[in-house]
Amino acid sequence: MVLLVKIPADLSLPLTEESAKTTTGDAIPSYLESKINGDGFVDTSVLIRHSTKSAGLHAYSISSTSLSKQDVPNYRATTLAMACGLHSKRFVNDVYIGRLGYASAGLANVDVSVSDLEAAVYTPDLRQTFIGELSKSGILGAGVSIGAAPDWLCSGAQTNYHDNKSMAALAAVMARHEVVEDDSESCSTSESERPSNADCNQSTSTTKLDILAMKHQVTLCIHCRRPASSLCTECKGTYFCDAPRKCKEAGWSHGCVCITWQMYVNHRDKLSDFTDFSGWQVPLLQEDCYSSDETYTRYLMDTLNVISSHTNNDTAAAQTWWSTEIHGWNGGKSASAKLVDLFQRVSYQDGIGLDVALIPNERHVTTDDIKRAGIFVDDNNMPNLTSWKDYYNVRCIPPSSPIALLATFPLTVYYAIQNHGIVPVTAAQMLDRPLKIHLVGIEKELNFIDFFKELGFLLPANVNIDMTWIIREDMFPEASTKTKEDDNFQYLSLQLTNNLTLTIIGGTYGDSLDPNFDIAGGAPDIIIGLNAGLYTYESWRHVRNELCKFGRSQSETKLACKPIPTAESNACQLHEPASV
């Protein structure tokens, strides 16, 4: 006999285990067909493909032939699919879960238990630290506690990512082959394939609506992407349209991530506790400021005075490091991105554009600075910065300066080194080589490269950093693409300070770049995603998990897994550098 798990669509019913007679091959469909006596049929969905090393995971749903029965969304089975990286998969009605793998007699079912699945039916975020935090939060209900998911389930999303990547590569090759074989046919389009005028008009209208919404109010309905202002009452992390539109019902799959998002949103208070500033930050922390581009723009112009009122109309007249906050990056094609010249160095005074009293000096931190600030140094002689107050004091910046809005980027890197790079820093010093750091997800940071000198200024002289920015090739500013070198995709190498070298490389991990081979200097010691909030985005999770196999360091830290420390910072406009 083999164990399988039933996931009822009715949330009031618990997961239960059933036993099916084992045979060669997958015996579960036959077992379920015997239960329904011909009133329907069994659909099998592969959640995790089986291999010679590990059994796979299958979902079996029963579709009724009766027209009178209405489908009921199965939130828990859909959440399990999301945990496996299948974010578009939706299940309805009762679903059964089984495993299929190789045994001594060949392919056969193996046991799966409720305890194996209990975490993945609540949240697609299967990190052990997150599961522990969720159990303690009380969100699941009084006395409800869930254990860690098994390794084979945690690796499901990564397995599916590699499978999809291989299939996409095969499809691309086949598509190119078809074009070569019959180019004339591929270039023709029949009348039935062409969109009607009505379809074109509808598409254009929706696009204009989206653009208008993005300009004035960036809170969009998660289902239909129209402007919306009704916040989810549970997680307070997404928006839906109001009645009579039925977006919340149609977009029921949000319920599969609602608990997870609620946990993420619960960190807002912690990330918004900035008592060390003089009050300039208060409007920034209000919902209308971070949900509307227009409100945020007026805040930067009228409250902080860091952007000229004519920046929108005459960008060249007010090109500072703040301008990207208004124009965004837009794949290197925004108004501010077009003015970025990677080969032109910019001083703090010109880049920040504030009174000199509000700007840190472009020099290294000294022992006297550290003593005056009243902070300690760690075992690697790095200043132990635990808050913005520490940073402002050690750099002689008054609390009235809004420089934290820009400093959050280099300070996050500094914090990641200090808290997740103890072993790599020590190993690099013992081997008399620089610490190798890769930053992924770089976009608008290209506008203020020179402010990353803060990282070098804060580090002691005996800590040398080789920092590499991995940038998608379509994200480079237009003024810099003409300088591209074909070898190694390398664009630029800069000596920002005497202990900090920056190399900018075009490409993406897993597609055009392998961190172990394609980047000068070899594998990184630490990989950091700046303000990417990598693990809150389902599409980034497989990347984060894949990165864990790279690198030299065998240390395991709070936010990282073997063999390389991987840190990602919270996605928000202002946060403590310690909030990584």
C-alpha to C-alpha distance for 74 and 8, rounded to whole angstroms:
7
- Give whole-number Cα distances, 561 to 397, 537, 554, in Å: 36, 18, 9
In the block, residue with structure tokens 């952007």: 307
Comparing 66-75, 324-333, 544-553, which segment has the lowest mean pLDDT?
A: 544-553
| Cβ atoms within 10 Å of 272's Cβ, excluding its own | 16
C-alpha to C-alpha distance for 129 and 134, rounded to whole angstroms:
9
Question: Among residues 470, 574, 579, 571, which one has the least CA distance to residue 237?
Answer: 571
pLDDT, position 481: 54
- Is residue 158 within 8 A of residue 187, CB to CB? The reply is no
pLDDT of 311 higher than 50: no
Long-range CB pairs of 492-497, under 8 A, 24+ apart, other chains included? 492/342, 492/343, 494/449, 496/449, 496/450, 496/452, 496/453, 496/455, 496/456, 497/364, 497/453, 497/456, 497/457
pLDDT of 198 higher than 90: no
- Phi, then psi, of 316 in degrees rounded to 5: -60, -25
Comparing 181-195, 390-404, 536-550, which segment has the lowest mean pLDDT?
A: 181-195
* Mean pLDDT computed over 541-556: 47
Question: Among residues 451, 416, 399, which one has the least CA distance to residue 525?
Answer: 416
Q: Is the peptide bond before 477 cis (omega within 30 degrees of 0)?
A: no
What amino acid occupies position 32?
L
pLDDT, position 576: 41
- With pLDDT > 70 as the criterion, what percentage of the chain qualifies? 75
- Is residue 291 within 8 A of residue 268, CB to CB? The reply is no
Radius of gyration, alpha carbons of the chain: 27
Residue count of the chain, please give it. 580
pLDDT, position 323: 84
Taking the chain, what is the end-to-end CA distance rounded to the nearest angstrom? 47
| More confident call, 178 vs 187 | 178
Strands 465-471 and 500-506: parallel
Q: What is the pTM of this model?
A: 0.67
* Mean pLDDT computed over 414-438: 87
pLDDT of 543 higher than 70: no
C-alpha to C-alpha distance for 564 and 547, rounded to whole angstroms:
8
DSSP letter string over 386-397?
A: -SHHHHHHHTT-
Q: What is the mean pLDDT of the chain?
A: 78
| More confident call, 549 vs 398 | 398
C-alpha to C-alpha distance for 363 and 497, rounded to whole angstroms:
9
* Mean pLDDT computed over 163-192: 57
Comparing 259-263, 338-342, 450-454, 497-501, which segment has the lowest mean pLDDT?
A: 338-342
pLDDT, position 313: 45
Q: What is the pLDDT of residues 71-116, one digit of tens each?
A: 899 999 999 999 998 988 999 999 999 999 987 778 899 999 999 9
C-alpha to C-alpha distance for 516 and 278, rounded to whole angstroms:
46
- Give whole-number Cα distances, 295 to 303, 304, 336, in Å: 11, 13, 19
- Helix axis angle, 156-181 to 538-547, nearest 10°: 100
In the block, residue with structure tokens 């329907």: 40
Q: Give residue 179's pLDDT band: very low, low, confident or very high (50, 70, 90).
A: low
pLDDT of 573 higher than 70: no
pLDDT, position 94: 92
Long-range CB pairs of 51-56, under 8 A, 24+ apart, other chains included? 52/102, 54/101, 54/152, 55/99, 55/100, 55/101, 55/102, 55/110, 55/152, 56/99, 56/100, 56/101
Question: Among residues 9, 6, 38, 40, which one has the least CA distance to residue 20?
Answer: 6
C-alpha to C-alpha distance for 427 and 354, rounded to whole angstroms:
40
DSSP letter string over 540-562?
A: HHHHHHHHTT-SS-----TT-BT
Q: Report, in this order, helix, strand and coil percent for the chain, each rounded to 5.
A: 40, 15, 45
